[in-house]
Structure 1
Amino acid sequence: MNGLSFSELCCLFCCPPCPSRIAAKLAFLPPDPTYSLVHDEANSRYSFHLTDRAEWQYSQRELDLIEVFQTRTSKGNRISCMYAKCSPNARYTLLFSHGNAVDLGQMSSFYIGLGTRINCNIFSYDYSGYGTSTGKPSEKNLYADIDAAWQSLRSRYGICPQNIILYGQSIGTVPTVDLAARYEVAAVVLHSPLMSGMRVAFPETKRTWFFDAFPSIDKVQKITSPVLVIHGTEDEVIDFSHGLAIFERCPRTVEPLWVEGAGHNDVELFGPYLERLKQFVTVDLAVN
C-alpha cells in the first residue's frame, strides 16, 4: 500500500470528494494484459489465447473447458468474461471477483484448480480497464461490471441465484458485497475484505465519511445469504482487523477462516484454505 503525499493529505481533509480518487489510486493496479480474445473464422465466438506471463499450468484439454466472451455494462464498457466448466456434476457456480494487479489470464490456472477441487464451476470477469476489458477502473465501474457479469451468468447460462456463490477477493470484495446486499444467493465468500477505502488508507478512521470509497462495512449488514469470511492474520495490505469487523457485522456468518501467519497474497497456499472451502460447499450450505 503506497503512502500519501503531503498534497494528497491536504486534499483529503480540505477538498472532498478527492479521497475517493486517492483510494482509487491505491486500489487499482491493472497489469499489462496476459491474454487476448480472438474471433474464430465464423466470427461467432472467441478463443482464449494466453501469453507466457499467464503461467498456464495445465494442458489444452483444461483450456478447452474455458469459454470466453464480452458483454457491455451499464456504463458503456465492454468487459471480458470467462466460464470455466470445471465439474460436470457441479451444483454451484462461483461468480468470482478477483483481486488487484491480476487479470483473467493470470487467474485461469487457479480457477481450474480451485473449481476442480471443490466441485464448482467458476464464472469470472475482468474489471473495466483490466485485461481486455475497455474503460477505466473506478468504484462506479466496479458495481456496473459485476452487475453485467451477474446478468450474463443468469441469462447466458441459466444459472439460478440459489446455485450461485459470490466470491470476492481483496478489491473484489467491494463489488461482491454490493451485489450480495441486493440479491439473495446460495452463499458469499469474502476473502481478505476491506471495510472501506478510508479505513485502509487511515487505520484510525472510525466512521464512514460521505466521501469515503468502497464502504463495504455499511453494506454487509444487508446481506441475507450465508457468508464465509477468510483473512490472513498477518495481512500487510488490508489489516486482519478488517476481516474481523466484516465478520462481526454480517447477519448470517458461518465459522470464519483466520489463516494464521498468512499475508495478503498467500492465503491460498495454506492447507486450511481448500479444506474450509470444501466444508463450506458440502457441509455448511447443506445445513443452511
Structure 2
Amino acid sequence: MNGLSFSELCCLFCCPPCPSKIAAKLAFLPPEPTYSLVQDESGSKYSFHLTDRAEWQYTQRELDSIEVFQTRTTKGNRISCMFARCAPNARYTILFSHGNAVDLGQMSSFYIGLGTRINCNIFSYDYSGYGTSTGKTSEKNLYADIDAAWQAIRTRYGISPQNIILYGQSIGTVPTVDLAARYEVAAVVLHSPLMSGMRVAFPETKRTWFFDAFPSIDKVQKITSPVLVIHGTEDEVIDFSHGLAIFERCPRTVEPLWVEGAGHNDVELYGQYLERLKVFISTDLAIN
C-alpha cells in the first residue's frame, strides 16, 4: 500500500497540494542577496561585488578570477552565473547546483576551496528568484535554470559533456537529476538528495502521486553516467533513507559516502568528504 493513513489520503484527494505549494513549503528559502553584478561602461562585462554576509575568505586576486554574467532561460528569466577557474590544468568542470538557503555570494568561497582541493573548475548559477537572478522560484523554473546553465557552459566555454561533472546539493539535486536523466556526462554527484517532495513531507509515502513535486526517484533510473551519492546518517531535513533509495535506484553507482553522524548542513566538515571526492575523480572515473 501507499503507507498513508485513511484520513491523510482523504485530505490529499479532497484538496491535493499543487507541486508549487509543496515546492515553496519544502524547498525555496532564498536569502537576501549577498552580492551584486556591476556592469562595466561597455555593458558587456560584469564584476562580482560581495557583501559582508558573503563571508569571502580569499584575496581580491581570487575574486577577480571569477567570471560572472547573466543568461536568459526559456521561461524568460535572467539567471546569474559564475565560472571559477580554480585549477589551471583541470580536466573536469563541475556544474554545481547549490542548496536552498544560499546564493552565489555565500557559496563563492566554498567553490574556490573545493575546486582547488579536487583540481576542478566550478561553474554555478543562482535559481530564478535567488541572488540577482530574476523571476520567481518554482519547480518548472528550476529545470529551465539548469538548462540555461548547461547551454552556457557548453557554448560560452566550449566544455564537452565528457568533461562536465554535475553536482547537486539538497534541492540542487532536483535539477541535477533532471538534467542527468537527459544527457550523459562524465559523472554525477548527488549530495543529500531527496526522493520527492511528498516523501519529505509525508515520510510514509511509497509511491509518486500526480501532484507530487521533485519526483527525482522516478528519474534517476534514466541516468547513464556514474553516480556518487553522499548523505549524512543524521540528516534532520532530508532523511538518510532518501539517499539510500536514490543510491539503490541509480543504474551506475559507485561506492557511496555515508557520513556517520553528519546532518544536512555539515557533511563538508568531515574529512572523508574531500577524500571521497578526490578518489571519485582520480580513480572511479578512470575505471568507469
TM-score, L = length of structure 1: 0.96
- Segment drifting more, 179-188 vs 8-17: 8-17
Deviations 1:29-75 (A, max 9, x none): 00000000000122220000000000000001111220000000000
- Contact 1:163/1:185, CA 8 A, preserved across alignment: yes
2:3 and 2:205 in contact (8 A); partners too:
no
CA shift digits 1:211-242 (9 cap, x unpaired)? 10000000000000000000000000000000
Distance 1:270 1:73, change over 3 A: same
Q: Which residue of 2 aligns with 1:271?
A: 271
Distance 2:112 2:224 in 1: 29
Please list the CA deviations of residues 131-182 of structure 1 after superposition, one character each: whole Å capped at 9, or x if unmatched: 0000000000000000000000000000000000000000000000000000
- Alpha carbons of structure 1 residues 3 and 23: separation in structure 2 relative to 1, 3 Å: farther
Contact 1:11 1:19 in 2 (8 A): no
**Counterparts of 1:275 and 1:71, CA distance in 2:** 34
**Alignment partner of 1:195: what SS?**
coil
Change (3 A) 1:185 1:75: same
Call closer, same or farther: CA 1:63–1:8 in 2, change over 3 Å.
farther
Structure 1 residues 15 and 183: alpha-carbon distance in aligned structure 2, compared to 1, 3 A threshold: same
Equivalent residues of 1:181, 1:220 under 8 A apart? yes
Percent of residue pairs identical: 91
Runs ≥4 in structure 1, deviation > 4 angstroms? 1-11
- Conserved in 1, the CA contact under 8 Å of 2:180 and 2:225? yes
Q: Which moved more, 1:61-70 or 1:145-154?
A: 61-70
Are the equivalent residues in 2 in contact too, given 1:23–1:201 (CA < 8 A)? no
**Any conservation in 2 of the 1:104–1:126 contact (CA below 8 Å)?**
yes
Q: Is the 8 A contact 1:12 1:19 kept in 2?
A: no
Q: Report the alpha carbon displacement of residue 16 of structure 1 after superposing the two structures with TM.
A: 2.8
Distance verdict in 2 for CA 1:211–1:39, change over 3 Å: same
State TM-score, norm by structure 2. Answer: 0.96
C-alpha distance in 1, partners of 2:68/2:4?
38
Aligned residue number for residue 8 of structure 1: 8
* Structure 1 partner of 2:190: 190
CA-CA distance at 1:195 after TM superposition? 0.1
Partner-residue secondary structure (3-state), 2:156: helix
* Alpha-carbon distance change, 3 to 138 in structure 1, aligned in 2, over 3 angstroms: farther
CA separation of 1:19 and 1:63: change in aligned 2, threshold 3 A: closer
- Structure 2: how far apart are the matches of 1:31 and 1:18? 24
Closer/same/farther in 2, CA of residues 280 and 11 from structure 1, 3 Å limit? same
Q: Report the 3-state secondary structure (helix = DSSP H, G, I; strand = E; otherwise coil) of the residue aligned with 2:168.
A: strand
| SS of match in other structure, 1:211 | coil
Task: Kindly report the root-mean-square deviation, in angstroms, between the aligned alpha carbons of the 2 structures.
Answer: 3.0
Quote the Cα distance in structure 1 between the aligned partners of 2:6 and 2:268: 37
- Say if 1:79 and 1:254 are closer, same or farther in 2 by CA, change over 3 A: same
Residues of 1 paired with 2:194 and 2:113: CA distance? 26
How far did 1:5 drift?
A: 17
Count of residues paired in the alignment = 288
- Give the Cα–Cα distance (whole angstroms) in 1 for the partners of residues 137 and 209 of structure 2: 22
Distance 1:166-1:104 versus aligned 2 partners, 3 A rule? same
Matches within 5 A, 1:35-54: 35-54=35-54
Distance 1:5 1:35, change over 3 A: farther
CA contact (8 A) 2:2 2:206 kept: no
**CA pair 199-64 structure 1, distance change in 2 beyond 3 A:** same
